[in-house]
Amino acid sequence: MKKDISLWQYAGFVFTAVFGTLLHFLYDWTGGSLLAAPFSAVNESTWEHMKLLYFPMLAFALIQSRFFRERRDYWCIKLAGILTGLVLIPTLFYTLGGIFGDTPDWLNITIFFISAAIAFLVEARLFKGDGVPCRVPFLAVAVIVLIGVLFVVFTFMTPQIPLFRDPLSGSYGLGG
């Protein structure tokens, strides 16, 4: 497959948008399956919405990596994109919530899509430019894996801080 960066990044955004949306409902669709819980939203907390971005971006990165093997900085660029999206979701949510009070569902959905779009735009810019200094690509992979491990662990052992609190039920993690 030709390595047209714009096409790849557009495909990644669509993949993330579609699968992130499906993951929003997967836990409920499976009747609260403990197998679905680590990868899907178990409540409406900001943290759970960050999972909806992370896992599809990771899956797409794994698919895309087969075509970008010669890029030493590939996983560093992917880490930059994933971190961008993960930082944007709570930043936009809490900023807009602070400005407007309650954020309606349509705005929360928009925040997810904007965060995903900007994450893939950041990656596209890095791919098209000089890339990023990436002396130890393994370290980028390790950080990406660590983020995934934290999503899984915090699904079952949820910290009792506002980022993890379901605004609808007031519960944390699977307790909702």
Domains of the chain: which residue ranges? 5-168
**Amino acid 3: pLDDT:** 65
CA distance 123 to 140: 14
pLDDT at 101 over 90: no
The confidence score (pLDDT) of residue 105 equals 83
Cα torsion at 52, 53, 58, 63 (round to 10°)? 100
Is the pLDDT score of 117 beyond 80?
yes
Percentage of the residues of the chain whose pLDDT score is greater than 70: 97
Could you give the CA distance from residue 22 to residue 29 in angstroms, rounded to a whole number? 10
pLDDT (average), residues 166-173: 89
Using the 8-state DSSP alphabet, how is residue 102 labeled? S
Asked if the model's pLDDT at residue 1 lies above 80, the reply is: no
What pLDDT does residue 152 have? Answer: 96
Here the tokens at position 97 are: 């919530």
